[in-house]
Structure 1
Amino acid sequence: MMEVASRAGVSQATVSLILNGSPGAKFSDDTRRKVTTAAKEIGYRPVQRGLPQVALATNQIAFVVDELTSDPWMALAFEGAREFALQQGVSVSLSVCRGGKLLDEDLLREFVHQPVIGFIYGTILTRRITLRGPFENLPTVLLNCYDGKRQLASVVPGDVEGGRKATQRLIAAGRRRIGFINGQDGIDASSDRLRGYRQALASSDITFDPDLVYNGNWEPPSGHDGTRAFLALDAPPDAIFCANDLMAIGCYEALKEAGLRIPQDVSVIGFDDREVAQFMRPPLTTLVLPHFDMGAAAAEHLLDIVGGLPTRHSQIKVECELIDRASV
C-alpha cells in the first residue's frame, strides 16, 4: 500500500479508502485514477482483514471525543469510522468527555469494565495531547490530534498541503498578490495552512509579504476586518485565501461593500467546504476538511492493529480535496 501511495503521489490513507471503496470518501476522479492505475501496475490487492477470535460482545470500538460542538467535524469523523467498521462486522460507540476535561475520570472508569477492542480518541482542534488510563492498555488511534512522543498512531488532515494547494490554485488563475486571512495564532491548523501558503509562494518565486497575512479568529467578522485591512494597503491583493469558509463569508461582504467583484477583481478561496460554501454568491472555491475520511482511516488502522497486521506508529495525513467553484 505504501508503494502504491508513493507511485500515485498520495497518502496511504487515500490509497486505502479508494481501493476499499469506502462509502462517503470524497476524492477527485484524477486522484482515484492515479491510485487504481498504480495499484494495477504493481499488482496490488487490498489486504483481507481478520479480527482475532473474540466473543461478539467485544467487537466494539470506543470512539471518544473531547467535545461535540455546533461544528460538524467530530460527528462526520464518527460516521466515517462507524461506516468503515460496520463493513468489518464491528460496531462503534460514541462517548464525550464531560465538562471539557481532556479525560473525564468517570469516563475512564466506564471503559475499564466495558468490553471494547480498542479506542479512537478525537479532538475538535488539531493539537498535541497526552493520554493515560485505559488508552495505555488497549490499541488506540488518535484522530485530529497526536502525542508528542509519537507512541500512538494518529490521523490528521493534510493542512500544509491544503494551504499549498489553495494558494497554487490562485497563482494558476494569474494572481500574484495573494492575501491570507488566517485563524487564531498558535493553533496547529493556522500554522500548517500558513506554512503551505508560504511554500506555494516560494515555489512560484513570489516574495512573501507579512503585510498580506492577517490573523483572524475563524469567525466571519475577522474575515471582514482582514479584508478591509488588505484593501487599505497601498498595493491591495488581487486574491485572498481565507483559512476557513466562515471567514470567507466576511471577506465576501467587505469586497462587495468596496464595490469589488468576485472573482473579476479579487479571487477568493476558503477552507473546510461547509455546506454554506456552495450557496454563497458566487459559490466559493474551497478545500474539504476530510473528517469523514479521517474517521474511516482511523478505524481501518485500529482494526489492522487489532488484527495483528504489521503496522508502525505513524502519522497519517489525509488529503484535503480542492472543490473548484466560481470564486477564483
Structure 2
Amino acid sequence: MTDVALEAGVSQTTVSFVLGQTAGSKLPQATRERVIKAAHKLGYSLPTLPASPMPVTSAVSCTIGIMVDQLSTTHDAVVAIEGARLASRNTGNVFLVAQMAGDPETENRTIEALKKADISALIYMAIFTRELIAPAFLGDLKIPVVLVNCHTEDCLFPSVVPSEIAGGENTTLHLIKHGHRRIATITGEHWQEATQDRLVGYRRALATADIPFDPELVVEGDWSTSSGYDATKKLLQIKNRPTAIFSQNDRMAIGCYEALKELGLDIPNDISVVGYDDEEVARHLHPPLTTSVLPHRAMGEWAIERLGIPFTPQERRFPITKVECPLVIRKSVAPPKAN
C-alpha cells in the first residue's frame, strides 16, 4: 500500500479505503481511479470486488476475537489486523481486538469478555515471534483458534510465523551475489527467536558460498537505532573491516547509515547495507534501503483463510506455516571496491 500511495500521490489510508471499498469513505472518483491506475502500473493484481458492497447486516458470517500482547509499541499488530480485515472484506466478519500486555489475569478477563460477545473464532497474536506456552483457556475453547507470529511445542493449534531462516539466508546471498565476502551482521537481542533464525540463515548463506564464519563480524544490537550506530562503529574498527553489513532490522540500519556517513563513507560504493522489516522509512533513506518484508499483513490474511478450512490435525498436530520474507531490492547494495 505504501508503494501504491507514493505512486498515486495519496496517503496509505486512502489506498486502503479504495482497495478495501471502505463504506462511507467519500473519496472523489478521480482519486479512486488514480489509486487503481497506480496499482496496475506497479504490477499489482487487484481482486475482483462486487460492484456495490452488500450491507454489513446481510454479510456478517461471524464475530472473530483477536488477542494480541502489544498494540501500542509497534505497528506490526495493526498491519496483521488490517490483513485479516482485507481478507474478510466480502464476508462481513466483525473483529473484536484486545491487548493483553502479557498479564495472565488480564488474559483471563479478556477471554471471558470475548466469550460473552459470542465470538465464533479466536486469533491469538504475538508481536515478537516465539514459541508460546499456551494459556489453558485456548485448549478449553469450543471454537477454532489460530496462532499468529507464535507457535506451541505440541502444535495443538494452526500457527503461522515468518520464514526467518530463509529470510536471513536470502538477504546474505544477495550480498554474496554482488561479490561480497566480508559480510557483517548486526543482530537483535540473542534470546529472541527472530535473531537466532536470521543468524542461522546468515551462516547458511556463508557456508553455501564457502565463506568461513567469522564471529568478529557478528555484533549484537537491541533493534534500536542507537544500537545500530554503536555496532557499526565497532565493526569499522576491525582491521579487515567488512564490505557489507546486514542489519537485522531497518531501525538499526538507520543507525548504521548515520555511523557510515559520519565517517565519510559512501553507501553503497564504500560499504553496502541491507536491512530487514521493510518499514516505510526504508524507502526514504538515502540511498533507499534494500530490505526484507516482515509479512505481518500476509499472516493476518492467512489467519482468515485458515479459519475457513476444517480443523483436522495431522496425527494430532498442526504443521507450522511459514510465510516468505521477500527481499525488496533498492539502491543500498553494490559490488565491493577492488583492492
Structure 2 distance, partners of 1:133, 1:57, is 26
Please name the residue that 2:76 is paired with.
73
Please name the residue that 2:135 is paired with.
131
Deviation at 1:61, TM superposition (A): 1.2
Equivalent runs, 1:1-328 vs 2, <5 Å: 59-97=62-100, 99-102=101-104, 104-129=107-132, 130-133=134-137, 136-137=140-141, 138-305=143-310, 313-328=318-333
Deviation at 1:298, TM superposition (A): 1.2
Contact 2:60/2:91, CA 8 A, preserved across alignment: no
Give CA deviations for 1:287-326 in whole Å, capped at 9, x if unaligned.
11110011000111122137x8999612111111111111
Secondary structure at the counterpart of residue 325 of structure 2: coil
Give the counterpart letter for 1:253 in structure 2: E
Inter-CA distance 106–56: structure 2 relative to 1 (3 Å threshold): farther
Give the counterpart letter for 1:266 in structure 2: I
Structure 1 distance, partners of 2:300, 2:20, is 11
Q: Which has the larger radius of gyration?
A: 2
How large is the RMSD of aligned CA atoms in angstroms? 2.7
Q: How many residue pairs were aligned?
A: 279
Give the counterpart letter for 2:76 in structure 1: W
Structure 2 distance, partners of 1:59, 1:186, is 38
Contact 1:119/1:135, CA 8 A, preserved across alignment: no
Deviation at 1:205, TM superposition (A): 0.5
Inter-CA distance 281–242: structure 2 relative to 1 (3 Å threshold): same
Please name the residue that 2:52 is paired with.
none
Higher relative contact order (CA 8 A, sep 6+): 1
Secondary structure at the counterpart of residue 86 of structure 1: coil
Structure 1 distance, partners of 2:140, 2:301, is 22
Structure 1 unpaired stretches of 5+ = 1-20, 24-31, 34-54
Structure 2 distance, partners of 1:134, 1:111, is 12
Deviation at 1:230, TM superposition (A): 0.9
Contact 2:187/2:248, CA 8 A, preserved across alignment: yes
Structure 2 distance, partners of 1:57, 1:81, is 15
Inter-CA distance 246–143: structure 2 relative to 1 (3 Å threshold): same
Inter-CA distance 168–134: structure 2 relative to 1 (3 Å threshold): closer
Task: Give the TM-score normalised by structure 2.
Answer: 0.77
Structure 2 distance, partners of 1:157, 1:87, is 26
* Identity over aligned pairs, percent: 41
Inter-CA distance 59–67: structure 2 relative to 1 (3 Å threshold): same
Structure 2 distance, partners of 1:60, 1:108, is 14
Secondary structure at the counterpart of residue 112 of structure 1: helix
Deviation at 1:22, TM superposition (A): 10
Task: Give the TM-score normalised by structure 1.
Answer: 0.79
Give the counterpart letter for 1:156 in structure 2: V
Structure 2 unpaired stretches of 5+ = 1-18, 22-43, 46-57, 334-339
Give CA deviations for 1:209-237 in whole Å, capped at 9, x if unaligned.
00000010000111111111111111000
